[in-house]
Amino acid sequence: MERLIKKIDLIFVLAIAFALFVRASGVLSASKWIATIGKKVVAEGDDAEAVYKETKNKYPGKKPSLAKIPTGDTLVL
């Protein structure tokens, strides 16, 4: 049962990430890394490590999620 809950949690996180990609793709530059906390995009940049560190400095008690904004020719399934 615990493994099922973890899989459901992962699917939920992936669904949120996809929704953020769709929403952010028109606002943020393609091929940029973004950091999210909850449903809010809190940082963006070219280097994933720099984006992560910037986010951890701004929000030290939070766990950010990192994702890369796809380019227009990327197929997201």
- CA torsion angle for 41, 63, 76, 73 (degrees, to 10)? 50
Distance CA 4, CA 11 (A): 11
19-52 pLDDT, tens digit each: 666 665 555 666 788 888 887 888 889 999 999 9
pLDDT band at 1 (very low <50, low <70, confident <90, very high): very low
Other residues' Cβ atoms within 10 Å of the Cβ of residue 20: 19
Model pLDDT, residue 21 = 65
Please state the three-class secondary structure of 35-50 as a single string.
Answer: EEECCEEEEEECCHHH
Indicate the average pLDDT of the chain: 75
pLDDT at 57: 95
